[in-house]
A and B are shown apart, each in its own frame.
Chain A
Amino acid sequence: MPIERGLQYLRQMQRVTLKNLPMPLEKTEKWKREHPDENTMKTIMSKKGPISRSALPPYGIDPIQAEGRLPWILTVPKEPYYEGVEEARQYLPISLRTLQRLIDLRRINPARPIDLPVLCNTKLFSIQPDQRQFGLQLTDEGADLFSTPINLEIQWVSSELATAAIERCGGILTTRYFDPVSLSALIDAKKFFERGEPIPRCDTPPLNAIEYYTDPKQRGYLANPDLIREERQRLAQKYGYKLPDASNFSPMFHLRKDPRQIFFGLAPGWLVNLKDQTILKPKDNKFETFYHS
C-alpha cells in the first residue's frame, strides 16, 4: 500500500523534506533536447584539417610555449620494473622501536591485545583506504630494545627478525587481513560508530594474499595453529632463545579474532549506540548466518 510506504519513510529517514523524497523528475523542455549525434556533428565540424584527418601531433606540443621542450609523453621515461605499482597493496611501517616507546610512555596498554584501532588511536599513522593502503607492517628497527610481552595483530610482517624479537619476550604475533570497508571502520572507530552502521563483516583476502595469510611462517590468521606452534619452536632454535611457557599467560593473550570479526569482543552485525552506551544485537537467525558465514 503506498500509504504504508510513506509511513515507512517517516519511520526510517532522519529528515523528510520535499527534496529528500525519492521522486522521479519530469524532464523539462530544455532537458529533453537530444545530445548531438554523429550526423549533426559531421555537418558542424570542418572536413579539413588535422582533426578530421586523424593527424594531430602527440600531446604536449604547443608551438607558442614549448620551443624545444619534449612532449609530455617523452619526458617521463619508461621503467618496466614498476609494473603493477597501481594495484600493489601498501602497508605503513611501524617499527619495534616506536612500539616499545609507546608502551614505555604508557600510551599503549600491553596487558590488553594490541590491535589496529588501538594503534590508530595514537594518531601517529594516517591510513588512507582509498590509496590502496591496507594497514600496518612491522619492521626490524629496534629488535634489540624490545622487551615486553604483547599480543600483537598486524597486517604484514616481512622479516623473521621482527617475529623473533616479539616471541623471544613471550609475545604472540598474528597477521590479519582487513578489506577497505572494514579498514575504514577500524581506523577511526568513533567516527564509524557515529555513522550508525552495523559492524561490517570482514571479507576473505584476495587471491594473491591467500598464500601469505595461510602461511604459518608469517603467522597468518588462516593458518593451522599446530603448524604455527612448530614454526615458533623452529624460530626459537634458529635465533637461539627459549620460548617461555604458555601456561603463565593471562587469558588476554589467547584472544584471537574470528576471520569475520573486526573488533575484539564485538561481533559483526551489531549496532553501537554511543549516546546511551548500549549495543543493539539482531535476534533473527538470518542475520547470524549472514554475518558469521
Chain B
Amino acid sequence: MSLVLRNILRRCPSAIITQSSLRFWSSNGQFPSHPMDTEEYENQPRKSITELPDELTERGTQPKFISGYETTKDEWEWVDNVLFKSAIPEPPDHPTPSGWFPPNPTLARQWPYFVDRDRFHSYALYVRILPVMLEYWLHEQHRYYLNIFRRRVEYDIYAQRTRRFSLLELISGDIWALDNDLKHYLTKRIELSHDKSKELPVLSQVDEIKRHILVDGEYEEWIADFLKEKGF
C-alpha cells in the first residue's frame, strides 16, 4: 500500500472506512496466500457428520480390523531397564581401571584452596576454543559483529597458533595461590618434557566471580595430574 493511502487511512475515522463502498486496501498478490484466517473461511456453515459418505472425509483409511488384547505385568522389568533414571549412583572408594581416582580429603585439607568435582564425580576441566576477530583492517572493522557470530575459528592467523584454552572451574578459597602453584607445576612439566610447541611463560586468567582459571594452551592432562597430586 502506498504511503499516501496509509496516511489518509490513519486520519479517517474507522466508521467511514467500513461503510464506504470503496476498498482502499487489497492483497498484494493476485490470489490469497492462505484462506485460513479470513472471516468467510472461519464462519462457513459446516456439514454434519451423518451426511458425508466415506470417500469425502480427509483422513482416508478407517481401521477396519481391531483385534482383542491382553494386559500383563510380566515383562515390566525390561521396560524399567530402558527408562531414563535421573539418580546418579555413588562412585566407588578405590581407584578404577579406567584411571579414575576418588578424592582424598585428608590431603586436600592442607591447601588454602579447594577444587570441587562436578556432579558425575570428575574434574571440572574443559577445553575452550574462543573466537577470533578475523579482520583487523580499519575499513573492515564495521563488520566485527558479523564475524563474531560466525563459526568459531580455531586457528589464530595473526598469532600463528591454535587458540585453545584449558578451563578449570569450581574453585573455592585462595584462587591466586592456586594460580601460582599451577603455573609453577606447568613450567616444571614443560621444562622436563622439552616440547618446543609449548611456550614459556605459562599465561593464565583468574576470574574470582566465576571461580575459574583459564590457562592459555592445551594442558588438560598435566592439570589433571596436578589435581591428583593435591588430592582433589
Contacts from A to B (Cβ < 8 Å)? 2-3, 5-6, 8-9, 12, 18, 21-31, 33-36, 97, 100-101, 103-107, 112, 115, 117-118, 121, 123, 142, 145-147, 188-190, 193, 263-266, 271-273, 276-284, 286-287
The docked-state distance in angstroms from the alpha carbon of A112 to that of B91 is 19
Further contacts, 5 of them, CB under 8 A, given A23-B49, A29-B40, A283-B69: A2-B50, A8-B62, A23-B46, A28-B41, A282-B69
How many chain B residues have a CB neighbour from A under 8 Å? 53
Which of chain A's residues has its CB closest to B59's CB? A22
Q: Report whether A145 and B97 are in contact in the complex, using a CB–CB cutoff of 8 Å.
A: yes
19 pairs from A and B in contact (CB 8 Å cutoff): A2-B52, A9-B49, A18-B46, A21-B49, A24-B56, A24-B58, A25-B41, A28-B41, A30-B40, A33-B30, A101-B98, A103-B98, A105-B92, A105-B120, A106-B92, A115-B82, A264-B78, A265-B77, A271-B69
CA A9 to CA B48, docked complex, whole Å: 14
Q: What is the chain B residue whose CB lies nearest that of A18?
A: B46
The answer to whether A121 touches B84, judged by C-beta atoms less than 8 angstroms apart, is yes
* B76 with A277: CB separation less than 8 A: yes
Does B58 lie within 8 Å of A23, measured CB to CB? yes
Q: How many A-B residue pairs have CB under 8 A?
A: 156
A2-B49, A28-B41, A280-B70 are contacts. A190–B83 as well, Cβ < 8 Å? yes
Q: Contacts A22-B57, A277-B73; is A121 near B85 (CB within 8 Å)?
A: yes
1/0 contact trace for B80-107 toward A, CB 8 Å? 0111110011111000111110000000
Bound complex: CA A103 to CA B51 (Å): 64
Cβ-defined contact, A265 with B32, below 8 A = no
B68 and A283: CB pair below 8 A? yes
With both beta carbons as reference points, the residue of chain B lying nearest to A188 in the complex is identified as: B84
Instruction: Report the Cα distance A31→B35, complex, angstroms.
Output: 6
Is B44's beta carbon under 8 Å from chain A? Answer: yes
